[in-house]
Amino acid sequence: MNSYPHPIIAREGWPFLAIALVMAIAATLWCATWSILLWIIALFVLQFFRDPAREIPQDPGAVLSPADGRIVAVERVNDPYVQREAIKVSVFMNVFNVHSNRSPVDGTVQQVWYFPGKFVNADLDKASTENERNAVWLKTANGTDITSVQVAGLIARRILCYVKAGDVLARGQRYGFIRFGSRVDVYLPLEAGVKVSIGDKVSATTTILAILPQNG
C-alpha cells in the first residue's frame, strides 16, 4: 500500500464538499439570506475532512496515536482479537477532530477483522465491544503485536479501511477513515510504557501513546 500524499482535504470528503459547495452557491444565487446556513454546512464539511500532513517521531519504540482526539480509556483488558492480556488506550474523536486514521507503528498487517454492530456513543466504554468496528492486527519487526481498532460512533455510519493481511505499514501512514464521530482503540503489550492519561488531548502521528521495549 502506497503512502497517502496528504492533499489537505481527505479524498473521502471530496464528494461531500462538492455537493455542499454547489448547494451553497445555488442558494446564494437564489436568495443570499437563505444561503447562510448552507455556507455554514459547507464550512463544517471542509473542516471535518481536512487531512494535514504530520511530523513523524523517529523513536523506534514509539507507538503513535492513530487518531486525533481525547484519551477516554487506559486500562488492562483482554485483547479480543489477538487473545492476550493487553493495555487498551482509547482515543475518542468528536466531529471537530481530523478523522484520518494512521498506523501507530512500523509493522506488517497480520489480519483484518470487520464486525457489524451498534452505534452507541463512542465516548462510552461499551462501544469497544458493541459498536461496528474494524480491527487491524500489526506485528513489528521485533515481533511485538499491536492491534488498532476503528470503532463507529453515535452518528458515524461508515468505517473505511484500506489495508489487508500482508500489507506493510510505516508509522504515521494513513490507512483508513471514519466519518462523523468515532473512536480508535489501541491494544498494547503489558510491558509497554504508556505515556498518556485519561483526558489528554492527542494528535494523530505526532503524539506518542507508549514506548515499547526493544529487546524483542
Q: What is the pLDDT of residues 92-149, one digit of tens each?
A: 988 888 888 999 999 999 999 998 866 655 556 676 766 789 999 999 999 999 999 9
Query: Could you tell me which residues come within 8 angstroms of residue 68 by beta carbon, excluding any fewer than 6 positions away?
Result: 91, 93, 97, 98, 99, 202, 203, 204
Q: How far apart are CA 61 and CA 212, in angstroms?
A: 5
Q: Contact at 8 Å (CB) between 75 and 194?
A: no
Look at the block and give the residue holding cell 464486525: 115
Whether 182 is catalytic: yes
CATH number, domain 62-211: 2.70.70.10
Task: Give 4's pLDDT tier (boundaries 50, 70, 90).
Answer: low
Strands 182-188 and 84-93: antiparallel
pTM for the predicted model, two decimal places: 0.85
Three-class SS state of 206: coil
Active-site choice (3, 182, 197, 203)? 182
Q: Is 172 left (phi over 0), alpha (psi -120 to 50) or beta?
A: left
Domain positions in the chain:
8-51, 62-211
- Written as nine digits, the cell of 14 is 471530496
| Contact criterion met (CB below 8 Å) for 110 and 144 | no
Please name which of 212, 207, 183 lies closest in space to residue 196, comparing C-alpha atoms: 207
**Over the stretch 39-81, which tens digit does the pLDDT of each residue have?**
999 898 887 788 888 889 988 899 999 999 999 999 999 999 9
